[in-house]
Amino acid sequence: MGLGGFGGGIGVVRFFAEQGANVLVTDLRSAEGLKDSLAQVDPAWPVTLHLGGHTEADFQEADLIVVSPAVPKESPYLRVAKNAGVPLTTEMNLFWERNRGRVIGITGSNGKSTTTALIHAIFQAAESDSAANTACKHGRCWLGGNIGVSLLPVVQQIQPEDWVILELSSFQLEDLAALQPRPEIAVVTNFSPNHLDRHGTIEAYRQAKQNLLRWQTPDCVAVLNRRSEVANWPTTATRVLFDACDVSDRSLPLTKWLLLPGAHNLENAQAAVAVAQAAGISSEAIESGIRSFNGLPHRLEFVAEINGRRCYNDSKSTTPEATVLAVQAFDEPIVLLAGGYDKQIDLSAIADAAVRRCRAVALLGQTGPQLAALIETAARKANLAGPICRCFESLEPAVAWSLQVSESGDVVLLSPGCASYDWFQNYVERGEAFAKLTKR
């Protein structure tokens, strides 16, 4: 239920098709909206497609329903399945039940994708030079989870000595609670309000995140941000704290090794180093992994220089905190593109940052008018003129205006602080559209 575009749905289809099961894919979106995912479905697989809507009979007659994490828990079709006695599960739960490897689980409101990818880069460096480490000497490292890679189709290849590096969203952790997950190493980058449209309350969101730590035992490790409330979250695991103000980070010169801009990326690197050291990886492999890491697509990704204006795609910024960090990563004047789908969270942090750091703001999507009002209020309170602001009904004129009002030497930054669902299928489509428009 819900094929999606980030790999989890395709992973489920491939896994069951290769097991010889008859797979029925049902999704509210049309074939056109799912064309990239459908292109990955092998015509030889026993797959039936019911797209453009759901049918109750599909939920009554299945032997098992694998539900996308994005599907609301109150979906009437899930109720139909429960009433019919059909079991429900998720891609991550299926993987967790079958995985034999050692798990490093990463969550947090911001920075979890970059931290996950940094950890993987370090472990890859260690894996390529087995003499330089101990923990990875006889095992591989695998990357998966919310970062967009499904490990379900290859779960049988994962050995007990392997390390499995998983980015885990609050949605995935909410579902995993039934399995009482116990990662050998857990990482929580930080915590701030998010996804309240789904979880309802901040406490429900917090409880979902805490599932990563809840069932750990004293032989496990919990890597936690000292400067966030997560440092005090309950766990019986051995706590390892990292601190954004500790630039030495266990005597390693991270500021020399890390190529990514921004203090928040240094913090992500600190978390990754703490994990690597807990796993017994050498300083040489840590240095090699960090030096080789060029960042993730759609995360402060440099996309073009237009007449002296440097354009950055930070489309994966879907929280106000992420946008604030992106703005703080630059010393140059900024023209910011912000706004999008309304997740019912407070956006005033974006407004405050925009008033103090931005020349102009192109306001996007559902939250555009709300942000405009917040920026006006923040400017008045700070007794500052504030940035030039304009609301737009699509991305193309917003990009054109941003380039017009900026000056040579400025940064043009897409960092929405909101989800993309009002204009785009996902943040990837939004980021690709921004990159294409700036270059054009």
CA angle 437, 438, 440 (to 5 degrees): 65
- Phi first, then psi, for residue 105 (nearest 5°) are -105, 130
Q: Are 105 and 86 in contact (CB under 8 A)?
A: no
- Phi first, then psi, for residue 77 (nearest 5°) are -70, -35
User: Side-chain half-sphere of 356: how many Cα atoms within 13 Å?
Assistant: 14
- Cα torsion 197, 200, 201, 203: sign: negative
In this predicted model, what pLDDT tens digit does every residue of 92-148 receive, in sequence order?
Answer: 999 999 999 999 999 999 999 999 999 999 999 999 876 444 544 558 999 999 998
Q: How confident is the model at residue 260 (pLDDT cuts 50, 70, 90)?
A: confident
Q: Both tokens of residue 220?
A: 């496990």
In this predicted model, what pLDDT tens digit does every residue of 309-334 receive, in sequence order?
Answer: 999 999 999 999 999 999 999 999 99
In this predicted model, what pLDDT tens digit does every residue of 41-91 receive, in sequence order?
Answer: 999 999 999 999 999 999 999 999 999 998 999 999 999 999 999 999 999
In this predicted model, what pLDDT tens digit does every residue of 5-38 receive, in sequence order?
Answer: 777 899 999 999 999 999 999 999 999 989 989 9
* Mean of per-residue pLDDT scores for the chain: 94
- Cα torsion 382, 227, 337, 410: sign: positive
Cα gap 246→267, rounded to integer Å: 9
Residue type, 149: V
Candidates 2.40.50.100, 3.40.1190.10, 3.50.50.60, 3.30.70.250; CATH matching 94-291: 3.40.1190.10
Q: What pLDDT score does 336 carry?
A: 98
3-state secondary structure at position 209: helix
Map out the domains of the chain as residue ranges: 8-89, 94-291, 301-439
Q: What pLDDT score does 133 carry?
A: 45
Q: Both tokens of residue 372?
A: 């405009």
Burial class from Cβ neighbours inside 10 Å (0-12, 13-18, 19+) for residue 256 reads: exposed
Q: Is the per-residue pLDDT at 296 higher than 60?
A: yes
Name which of 439, 426, 367, 427 is nearest 396 in CA terms: 439
Give the domain 8-89 fold.
Rossmann fold (3.40.50)
Domain 301-439 has CATH 3.90.190.20: yes
In this predicted model, what pLDDT tens digit does every residue of 169-227 receive, in sequence order?
Answer: 999 999 999 999 999 999 999 999 888 888 999 999 999 999 999 999 999 999 999 99
Cα gap 155→158, rounded to integer Å: 5
Q: What pLDDT score does 131 carry?
A: 47
Q: In this structure, what DSSP letter does residue 242 have?
A: E
Beta bridge partners of 222: 186, 239
Strands of 178-268, DSSP E: 185-188, 221-225, 238-242
